[in-house]
Each structure stands twice: as C-alpha cells, then as structure tokens.
Structure 1
Amino acid sequence: MVEDSYDAVVVGAGGDGPVTAWKLAEAGLSVLVLEAGPFYGNEQWPRPNEEPGGEASSSPEDLSGDLLDEQFTTREFEMITKLVFGPADHERGFWFRKFPGDGAILQCAGVGGTTLHYTGCHPRAYPASIDEQGHWPIEYADLIPYYQEVEEMCDVTPAPVTAKEELFFRGAADAGWDLIEDLNVTEPGYRPQPNAIRQPDEKLHVDAGYDGDFTYPDVEGDTLALGNIAGNPHPRGAPYEEKSKRASNVSFVPPALRTGNVTIRPNAFVTDVITVTPRGDTPTAIGVEFRDTWSGSVEQVDSDVVVLAAGAIETPRLWLNADLPANEWVGRGLTIHFGDNVMGLWDPDDLDETIGSDTIDQHEGQDIAARFDYPGVGMLQTVGTAPGIGAILGFGASASGFAFQNDTAGEPWDTIGRLAGTELKRLLSDYRRMLQILVVSDDRPHQRNGVTVAPGAADEHGPIPIVNYEPSEGDRQRRDELARIAADILREAGASHVHRSDSPPTALHVHSTMRMGKVVDEACEAYDVNRLFVADHSVLANGVGGANPTNTGQALAARTGEKIVERHF
C-alpha cells in the first residue's frame, strides 16, 4: 500500500536508484521507489505484461525465482523486445526518444533498469579520469570505500576464461601489452573483466566432465550460458537472490526490501517535481506527481527529500518538463563512450594450433569476460554474442556506408563499413571462428551534446527527450587509436581477416547530463533546488575514462544516500 508521504521518494529503480534507497532505508528512513516499468519476478505481478497486478511491493517474500524463470525466457528477440524502454503493456508501444542518425539508445524500463540487460561488467573508473581531467568536484579516493561496498554486494570477481578470452589475451600479450592486476588502473594493459556475475560452479570446469542439466541446486553460480544481455535468469530453479548475474534487482532490491522501510511501486511514471518557494528563497522539493501507466490516473506523493534516478535521459527530461529553475547545464554534457566494433576471422588450422580447437564459439562463457584498458583513451572488450546481435553490431550499420565502397589501403583492417551480399554470407557462415571486440572510447563532455525537449513532440508524459550527440575531433582520434590497437591484437592472435564497422554513435553507456559541479554539488544535491538530489549516471562528471560506468554509478549512489542522511536527517 502506497502512503501519502515518505521521508524520501526515489524516482527510478534502475541500476542506481535501489542503491540509494537501500542506503536511506538502512538509516531508518521511509522510502518510496517509483519505477516507470514493470517488476519482473515479483508475485504481486504474475503477468506483468498482460494485466496491472498489485499496486506496490514492500516485502522480499514477494520475490520469486520461479516466476523470473518463467518471465525471462532468454529467447533473444523476445527478451530484447520485452526489456526495451516502454510500458509493461507492450501493446501500447514503446516510449519514443529522438536520437540522431542511424544510432540508437539502449535502455530498459523496469525494476533493475538497464542492468537487466547489461553484461555484468563492473570495473572501476580510471583514477586519472577523475583526478586529472578537471571535471569532478571530488577525488577518486572518495569513491574507493563505496566501490568496495558495491563490489561485495554484487559479488564482483574476475570473469572465467573460455576460448575467446584466451585468444584475446594471447593477442594482447604478443602485441606487447602487460597483464593488469590492480583494480585501480593507471597504465594500459589487458586483464579478465571484473564482472558482477557469480563464479561458475567448480563442477563445470572443462576437466570435470559435468553431464547434468545446469539447474539449481545441482549447479550454483554462473552456468556459462551466454545471455546476460537478455535478462539471464541462470541458474534455472535458483531463488531470486541466488541468480548469478547481480543486476540491481537481484543485488540491491532484496536487501532494501528486507529493511522494512522500502516500498517499490512499478508502472508509475513521474511527470513533475513539486516544489515550494519561500519568498526570495531557493525552491525546495516536497514531492512528485506521477502517472499510473495502466490506468492513466495521476497521483501525488509528498516527501522530505526527492531523489532523481531515472537515468541520464529521463532525469533531465523530467527536470526540463517540471517547473524547475533553468540551468544551462541541465541535460548537457552527454557522454556515450563513442564506440565501434572490430571483428577477426580465423582459419580453422590456425585456431587449432593456437588454442587447441578449430572454433572460438564466442557465444560460450560470459558475454564480456576480457578487457584492455588504456587510461586517457578508453578500453576494448571482447563481446560474446549470439549470431543475430553480433551481425547487427558488427556488420549491420556503419558511418562509412558499404564496405565495397571503401579503400582500406594502408589500414590494419581488410574491410570497413557495412557488409552485404557474398562477403556478408562468407563471414557470417564462419561465425564460430570469429572474435568481436567492442571499442569504447573516453569521449569528453561537450555542452552541445545532450537532452532537450520540444513542446511539439510529446507523449502521455509530456515533451519527449530529443538527444543530440556529435563527437569532437579528439573523441574520434581516441576511437581510431583504439580500433587500430584492436586490429593489432586480432592480427597478433592469428586472425586472417579483420573487419571494422565504423559504427554510428550508439548510446550504449549514457551519462553526464546532470553533472556534478555543474547541476549538482559534491553531495549530488541540486544547486538550484533544495532537497532535490540526483543519484544516477547523469551526475557522472565525465565518462569515467571509458570504463563501464555501472560500478561508479552505484558507488556514487551509495555515497549520495549517506550524504542525504547527513544533511537532512
């Protein structure tokens, strides 16, 4: 049952909102979390996409691993469609956002947010991106205790090695790079990915000869069945909290509910922040207004503190659509880790000589289990995908047009651009002997990039977000440098053909639109509105150097929860 008033309202139950809610609830505060999307794996909503179900959930007893197994099928297209940003009732269509060119915004709605389809990657920011780029009002050292806390909550460990990681490590070592063993990365090199995915059961070791059905309790932890991008309920049969991928719905929602102080209401899209303004004073947030996405009814709830955690697109959209003070940096400074894809193809004899097998089978193991870090430039990651996603990322879109139009003389790749016809068929038919590397650059915040709204383009929740992104020349140079390093690693590992996508901008990691030091202060409280805090990736003052942002976003969200208690309670 949702009350009329709480100590704190958190807008959004994605990757970061549950972390702040847990911190506030641990301090004894009453917390309401409003989430626009559905709540999968909760017995209050046994058919979340077909009917409204209950109103809210306040008990961990509502969480069901069996129900999550039923709802998360891991069928690729079905799950991507289910988790795309939109209402629980998919017959109503997705929530539209405008993004330039051929790019896309990859985000989810629902409790767990985009961590429902993230690949578990949980590295820390590069220290230099916080201490040396001049964007942050805090130091890297301020985040370390929160990193440690989040990593313990999420069971972060080095990813297990399968054939694709072994091949990448061999290529990186032969290219002259060093193995990194420190969590706080200051020099370039390669290492296993720190993943928020529990280690696989020892009985799954290659020499153990396991011949079971990979279900709980026979198998605990990761089953090495690819599918983290599509929910990942593995191991099947496990209780809700024992699922191997530690998305925020699994890692932070249960302990938040166990405090007895947290209520989560899904299907509640917040459309306004309610403020009062004493004469001559700064506005103060006193609650929010939200719309039930099933019934369309509009409700208001009061609170002593409002925390915006709707993500780096919806948080500035909410600010811009609400009657809140103008700030030239609200929605501005967007970073998306301007990326690319570089793919290698091997001859079977060369593979057998290198790794003792004539296939790589990048669909086996954890989706992203190896990485190359280059502070100041960005990172590379091996990408294990099913053929459909791999084809889309690697061959389906390009800023360079079709590959047959492009001259690659003097370049380290054999082809660049969008593949079609015979060449596409040739490479895809050899999918099991391919390795895909994702390029993730350290793009920097520019005020021209970001989120705006326009009254002429609106949905039922108000003007929609219009996203603009144009990389700078420096951003392009860093991406090109990483692409060349990726091609070199693939060549050193023995690839006979290297293809570069030259991918259009895609908002895979989205941050920096409500930046610390510009829109919010060092505690993430808004400069222009008292008792209004931001606790999501939008407050990251830059793209944390190119490292996957989930760990930093959650560490900062935990810190923000503590700061809220210190300042106002």
Structure 2
Amino acid sequence: MVADEYDAVVVGAGGDGPVTAWKLAEAGLSVLVLEAGPFHGNEQWPAPHEEPGGEASSSVEDLSGDLLDEQFTTREFEMVTNLVFGPADHERGFWFRKFPGDGAILQCAGVGGTTLHYTGCHPRAYPASIDEQGHWPIEYADLVPYYREVEEMCEVAPAPVTAKEELFFRGAEAAGWDLIEDLNVTEPGYRPQPNAIKRPDEKLHVDGDYDGEFTYPDIEGDTLALGNIAGNPHPLGAPFEEKAKRASNVSFVPAALRTGNTTIRPNAFVTDVITEQGLGDVPTATGVEFRDTWSGTTERVDAEVVVLAAGAIETPRLWLNADLPDNGWVGRGLTIHFGDNVMGLWDGDDLDETIGKDTVDQHHGQDIAARLDYPGVGMLQTVGTAPGIGAILGFGASASGFSFLNDPADAPWDTMGRLAGGDLKRLLSDYRRMLQILVVSDDRPHQRNGVSVAPGIADEHGPIPIVNYEPSEGDRRRRDELAAVAAEVLREAGASHVHRSDSPPTALHVHSTMRMGKVVDEACEAYDVDRLFVADHSALANGVGGANPTNTGQALAARTGEEILERHF
C-alpha cells in the first residue's frame, strides 16, 4: 500500500531514479518511487498490459525471472510496441509529444525506463567535456567514485568480440587510430565497449561448439544472442537479478527494494508538484499529485524531499505544468547527440581473407560492442541489429531525401540518403555482409533548444511537451567529421560500398534540459524551489562529450542521493 507521507518521493523509475532511491533507502529513509508505466517481471502485476494488478511493490520477493521471460519475448516488433512511452493499457494509445520534422523521440515507460530499451553501453563521460567546456559546476573527479560504484553494481566489463567488432578494430587500426586501455578517455582511439551486460558464459568461449539450449543454469551471463535493445530476458530461466543486461530494473531496483524502505508504485503519472511558501521568497516542495493511469483517480503524497527523475522531457514538462518558477533555463539546453548512420558492405571473398569467414553477421554478439572515442568531437560505435531496425536506421530516413537526389562526388561515401527500390533490395539482400556504424556527436547546449508546453495541446496529464532541436553549425561540423572518420574506417576494413544516411535529428540520448549550474545547483537541488531535486539525465550540464550517458546519469544520481542526505537528513 502507498502511505500518505514519506521521507522522499522519487518521480520516475527509469535509469536514474532507482539509483537515488537506493541511496536514500539504504540510509534508512522511507522512499516512494512513482512510475508512469508498468512494472514487468513483478508478481503483483502478472499481466501488466491487460489489467491493473496490485497497487505497489515493497519487496524484492515480488520479482520473478520466469514472469520476465513471459513478458520480455524476443519478438522485435512486439517488444518495441510493449515498451513505447505510453500507459500499460495500450488500448488507450500512447502519450503524445510533439517533435518537429522527420525525427523521433526514443523513450520507454515502465520500471527501468529507457534502460529497458538500451544496449547496455556504459562508458564514462569524456573528462574534457566536464572540466574544459565550462558548463559544469563540479569537476570530473567528483564523479569518479560514483562511476566506480555504479560500474560495480552493473558489472560493467569490456564487451566480447565477434566478427563485426574484429572488422571494426582492423579498420580503425589501419586508419591510424590507437587502442585505448583507460576508462577515463582523454585521447582519441578505439576499444571494446564498456557494457553493463554480464560476461558470456565460459562455455561459449570454447571453439564455438556449444550446442545446448542457452538457458539458465546451464548458461550464466550473456548468451551473445543480440536482442539487448528491446527488453532482453537472457538467459532464459535465470532469476530476475541474474539477467545478463543490467538495466536499472535488474540492478538498482532490487537493491532499493532489498533495503525494506522502498515502495514502487507503477501506473502513477505525476501531474503536479505541491509547494508551500516559506519565510523567504523561495517556495518549498512538500509533495506531489499523481494520476492512476488505469482508473483515472488522482492522489496526493507528502514528502520531506521531492526528487524529479522523469527524464529530460517529462521532468521539465512537469515543472512547467506545475507552474514552478522559471528562470529562462527550465527545459532549455537540450542535447541529443545529433547522430547519423554510416553503413559498409563487403564482398564475401574480401571478408574471408580478412576475418576468415564470408559474412559479418552483425546480429551475432552484443548489439553495440565496439567504439571509437574522439573527445571534443564525439564517438563512433558499431551497431548490430536485426534487418528490420537496421533498415530503418540505415536506409529508411534521411534529411537529404532519396539517395538518387544526392551527388556523392568528392564524398567519402558512395551513396547518401534514403534508399528505395532496387538499391534498397540489393543492399538489404547482403545484410549478412554489412556493418553499421552509429555516429554520435558532441552537440553543445543552446538555450533555443529544449522542451516547452502549449496550453492548447493537452492530454489527460496536462499540456504536452513540445520539443525543439536545431543543431548549430559547430554541431553539424562535428557530425560531418565523424561521418568521414566512419567511412574511412569502413574503407580501411575493406568495405566495397559505403552508404551515409544523413539521418534527421533523433532524440536517442536526451539530456541537459534542467542543467546543473542553470536550474539546479552543484547538489542538483533547484535554485528556485527548496527541497526539490533533479536526478535524471536532464541535470547533466551538457551531452558529456558524446559518450553514452547512462553511466554518468547514474553516477550523478548516486551523488545526488548523498547530497540530499547531507543537506536535509
């Protein structure tokens, strides 16, 4: 049951909120976590998309690996649909947000948030992005102890190498890049991806001759069966906490529940932050109101401290709809790692000569297992996908229109733009001999970019978020440079055809809309509302240099939990 009052209420059980909840609960505070989406793999909700189920969960004994196996199938389209940003009851449609242009916002609702939909990538920020870009009120060194703590909790390790990573490494080395062996990256180079995915079972290392069922307990850890993007229940049969992908629902949520001080209430969309006027001019947060997404009823919970961890879009939306003070930076400074996709296609004979087999088979191994770091510019990483997602990312959308409209003369790629007809069939028919590189740029925060609300467009939770993003010339220049590097790596690895998507802006990594130093202070407490903290990617002061942000978001959330204890308890 949900009580009327807690020491702390955390809004959002995504990648970061459970980290702060764990820190607070471990110190003995009573913590309520309110999550808008469902709770998969919890016996209180055996059919989370079909019926309301229980009210809340306060025990780690509620978690079931078998139930997660049933609910997290490996059927790609089904899982993408189940994990989109919307209510547990999909008959009610999805929650709408307006993102101009051809781009998209990739985000999930549910306990675990968008870490349910991520590939486990857990690198640290580039130190220069924190210490040299002038955006942060803290230093990189302040985060290092929390990085270590998060990496231990999530069992972060270098990703295993399959053919696609070997090919990428060969191309990067031939192009003149050095191998990186340090977690704190200060110079450009390539390396295995630090992933929050359990290492593969030793049985899978011996000559590739394992012919079992890839199920627990015969196999422990990663099964190298791809499928990390949407859900991922591997290895099947494993207890909830032994699942290979260490998304926050598998790592930090059980840790928070095990304290005995945490209650998680899913299907609870927070619509207002309650404040009281103190002695000075700054109001004090005293609780929240939330709406049950099944019944439509509204409830209120009081708390000594309120922590917003609803994500870089919903946190500023909630703030603005709650009519909290706006200093001009609330919702502003959005960064999305303005990205692109560059694809390489090989002839079978060339592959056989290079890696000893005539296929790349990008669907083998972990989805993203190799990277090239370029501090100050961004990063590249290999992407292993099934054909459907690969076709959408690589060929299905482009800011340049169809490829036949674009002249590739003097460009390092053979084609650019959206492919169709015979060209699309030809490249996709050779899917097993393709390698996709994702370009992730170090886009910088600009006040014009961000989240606003329009009173004229509302859903059941109030005015919807309107997301605006227009990259600067510097952002475009850095992305173009990375695309050229990706093309060179593919060429040096022997690709016979290189295709650049010129992808439209896609909010894959979303951060910096409630920035430290602008909206919240060095402890992530709001400048203009006492006892109101932000503990999600929106508090990041920039895009951490282009590195995948989950590790930094969780490290900062852990630090914020300790700052809350220091200041108010």
Q: How high is the TM-score relative to the length of structure 2?
A: 1.00
Distance 1:113 1:365 in 2: 24
Percent of paired sites with the same residue: 89
Q: Which amino acid aligns with 1:281?
A: D
Distance 1:327 1:268 in 2: 28
Task: Look up the match of 1:89.
Answer: 89
Task: Look up the match of 2:264.
Answer: 264
Task: Look up the match of 1:108.
Answer: 108
Task: Look up the match of 1:335.
Answer: 335
Distance 1:419 1:206 in 2: 40
Q: CA deviation at 1:325?
A: 1.0
Task: Look up the match of 2:120.
Answer: 120
**1:378 has 2:405 as partner:** no
Task: Look up the match of 1:232.
Answer: 232
Task: Look up the match of 1:553.
Answer: 553
**1:304 has 2:296 as partner:** no
Task: Look up the match of 2:189.
Answer: 189
Q: CA deviation at 1:206?
A: 4.9
Q: Tell me the SS of whatever aligns to 1:228.
A: coil
Q: Tell me the SS of whatever aligns to 1:390.
A: helix
Q: Which moved more, 1:523-532 or 1:202-211?
A: 202-211
Alignment of 1:11-50 (within 5 A): 11-50=11-50
Distance 1:116 1:72 in 2: 10
Q: Tell me the SS of whatever aligns to 1:489.
A: helix
> Once the two structures are superposed, what CA deviation does each residue of 1:52-99 show, in whole Å capped at 9, x if it has no partner?
000000000000000000000110000000000000000000000000
Task: Look up the match of 2:222.
Answer: 222
Distance 1:148 1:411 in 2: 42
Task: Look up the match of 1:149.
Answer: 149
Q: Tell me the SS of whatever aligns to 2:274.
A: strand
Q: Which amino acid aligns with 2:443?
A: D
Q: Tell me the SS of whatever aligns to 1:284.
A: strand
> Once the two structures are superposed, what CA deviation does each residue of 1:400-421 show, in whole Å capped at 9, x if it has no partner?
0100111011110000000011
> Once the two structures are superposed, what CA deviation does each residue of 1:153-173 show, in whole Å capped at 9, x if it has no partner?
000000000000000000000
Q: Which amino acid aligns with 1:38?
A: P
Task: Look up the match of 1:403.
Answer: 403
Distance 1:405 1:270 in 2: 47
Distance 2:372 2:528 in 1: 40
Q: Which moved more, 1:277-286 or 1:471-480?
A: 277-286
Distance 1:117 1:326 in 2: 32
Q: CA deviation at 1:296?
A: 0.1
Q: Tell me the SS of whatever aligns to 1:248.
A: coil
Distance 2:326 2:451 in 1: 14
> Once the two structures are superposed, what CA deviation does each residue of 1:373-404 show, in whole Å capped at 9, x if it has no partner?
00000000000000000000000000001001
Q: CA deviation at 1:252?
A: 0.3
Distance 1:323 1:316 in 2: 11
Distance 1:134 1:164 in 2: 37
**1:246 has 2:236 as partner:** no
Q: CA deviation at 1:278?
A: 2.6
Task: Look up the match of 2:456.
Answer: 456
Q: Which amino acid aligns with 1:6?
A: Y
- Structure 2 unaligned regions, length at least 5: none
Task: Look up the match of 1:501.
Answer: 501
Task: Look up the match of 2:539.
Answer: 539
Task: Look up the match of 2:319.
Answer: 319
Distance 2:540 2:281 in 1: 28
Distance 1:461 1:208 in 2: 52
Q: Tell me the SS of whatever aligns to 2:288.
A: strand
Distance 1:536 1:510 in 2: 10
Q: CA deviation at 1:487?
A: 0.1
Q: CA deviation at 1:279?
A: 4.9
- Structure 1 unaligned regions, length at least 5: none
Q: CA deviation at 1:208?
A: 5.0
Distance 1:389 1:57 in 2: 34
Q: CA deviation at 1:349?
A: 0.1
**1:350 has 2:346 as partner:** no
Task: Look up the match of 1:7.
Answer: 7
Q: CA deviation at 1:175?
A: 0.3
Distance 1:214 1:14 in 2: 29
Distance 1:80 1:200 in 2: 25
- For residues 362 and 208 of structure 1, do their structure 2 counterparts lie closer, same or farther at Cα, with a shift above 3 Å needed? closer
Task: Look up the match of 2:530.
Answer: 530
Distance 2:304 2:281 in 1: 17
Q: Which amino acid aligns with 2:62?
A: D
> Once the two structures are superposed, what CA deviation does each residue of 1:105-159 show, in whole Å capped at 9, x if it has no partner?
0000000000001000000000000000000000000000000000000000000
Distance 2:202 2:447 in 1: 50
Task: Look up the match of 1:77.
Answer: 77
Q: CA deviation at 1:280?
A: 4.0
Q: Which consecutive aligned stretches of 4+ in structure 1 deviate over 2 angstroms post-superposition?
A: 278-281
Task: Look up the match of 1:178.
Answer: 178
Task: Look up the match of 2:364.
Answer: 364
